[in-house]
Amino acid sequence: MGIREQIDTDLKDAMRAGDKQKVGALRLVVSELQKAAKEGNDDEVAVLRRERKRRTEAASAFREGGREDLADGEQAEAELIAAYLPAELSDADLQAIVAQAVSDSGASGPKDMGIAMREAMAVVDGRADGKRVSGMVRTALQG
């Protein structure tokens, strides 16, 4: 069963259970997936990652503004979306990928960060956040 089919099934279950928050979040996700498909982007995982990132950033902004109630709602939606994404890489696995990427790219210092990042992100294939990868590449190139 694909991601979209799983979300549709969970949406129906949430509707039967009367879980209004989950129904709202899943409908929004389905809408974004449909919009992406209409635009020719069939990468469901990329759409889900983008939506999770939006929710996480919104939660952070609400917390900075002192609106914990809204931040908690956004964070809950981000966690719900994250459940449909493939597992994130562990730090050890990501560290190994970064070390290999730095080695393969021939990067030798901070000026070669772009080359090493390009190599690492190709292998990571969306299984880790770009900021996390960037931090590890930066550390590898400085050390």
> Rounded to an integer, what distance in angstroms lies between the CA atom of residue 93 and that of residue 65?
36
* Angle at 81 (CA atoms; ends 135, 11), nearest 5 degrees: 175
Same structural domain for residues 74 and 98? no
Q: Is the pLDDT of residue 63 over 90?
A: yes
* Angle at 119 (CA atoms; ends 114, 125), nearest 5 degrees: 115
Q: Which residue pairs, CB below 8 angstroms and at least 24 apart, start in 84-89?
A: 84/3, 84/6, 84/7, 84/29, 84/48, 85/45, 85/48, 85/49, 85/52, 86/45, 86/126, 86/127, 87/127, 88/127, 88/128, 88/129, 89/124, 89/127, 89/128
Same structural domain for residues 71 and 24? yes
Residue 11: its pLDDT value, please? 92
Look at the alpha carbons of 34, 38, 39, 45 in this order and tell me if their dihedral is positive or negative: positive
pTM: 0.72
> How many domains does the chain fold into?
2
Question: Which residues span the domain enclosing 52?
Answer: 3-82
Same structural domain for residues 8 and 62? yes
End-to-end, the C-alpha distance of the chain in Å comes to: 44
What are the tens digits of pLDDT across the range 66-84?
Answer: 999 999 999 999 999 988 8
**Comparing C-alpha atoms, which of 133, 140, 126, 129 is closest to residue 46?**
126
| pLDDT class of 119 with cuts at 50, 70, 90 | confident
CA 44 to mean position of chain CA atoms: 11
Residue 46: its pLDDT value, please? 83
| pLDDT class of 143 with cuts at 50, 70, 90 | low
Residue 97's CATH number: 1.10.10.410
Residue 46's CATH number: 1.10.1510.10
What are the tens digits of pLDDT across the range 4-31?
Answer: 889 999 999 999 999 898 999 999 999 9
Q: How much is the mean pLDDT over the chain? A: 87
Same structural domain for residues 65 and 107? no
Same structural domain for residues 95 and 132? yes
Q: Is the pLDDT of residue 135 over 80?
A: yes
Same structural domain for residues 62 and 18? yes
Same structural domain for residues 60 and 95? no
